[in-house]
Amino acid sequence: MMRGAGWLVAAALVAGCATDNSGGDNSGVSGSQIGKVQGIYVEQYSGIYVDRQMAGTESGKPVWVYVTFDRPLKDGTRFVTAVLEQDSGVEPGDLVQVRLARDHDQDPAATPVRNQVVALIAKHDTARARAFGSAPGRPAVETVKQAAADPQR
């Protein structure tokens, strides 16, 4: 019973985030960002989100990912939820490129209505994914370069 209640709370949190157009205030946030997948959820019913492992094998249902960034974006955004339109084997811990939606863009046709995962950048077991966000205050590019130079890390 408690386990089921925990999933409902998680589903409610994701539901609140799924409609979030983070980065959508035209505040200088670029059109896409690289982030790390923290969770993957399936929209079982309208507004009801379930962890992908609990969702079963039904296909055709929208899949959402919870993605965090190594540093806040210019508008202060630290995370987004984004739709995963093509499931390319994305798992928690993977690095993905997210195209951010914007509310007040001058050319609405150029940006999506909602945040979208557009590319898998690195799997969770690679040095690049493991190094992502590991050094607070340091640019991610420098951290990734250092991890690539030292594969034992």
CA dist list (Å): 53 to 44, 45, 49, 50:
12, 16, 12, 8
Range of the domain at 51: 2-122
> How many domains does the chain divide into?
1
Residue 80 falls within a domain, yes or no?
A: yes
pLDDT at residue 23, as a whole number: 38
In a domain, 135, yes or no: no
Of residues 112 and 28, more confidently modeled: 112
Is 82 contained in some domain?
Answer: yes
How confident is residue 101, by pLDDT bands cut at 50, 70 and 90?
confident
Q: Domain for residue 55, yes or no?
A: yes
- Range with lowest mean pLDDT among 23-32, 47-56, 119-128: 23-32
4 CA to centre of own chain = 24
% residues pLDDT > 70 (the chain): 59
Is 130 contained in some domain?
no
Q: What percent of the chain has pLDDT over 90?
A: 35
Taking residues 20-48, report their average pLDDT: 72
More confident residue, 29 or 70: 70
In a domain, 102, yes or no: yes
Q: How far apart are CA 71 and CA 56, in angstroms?
A: 34
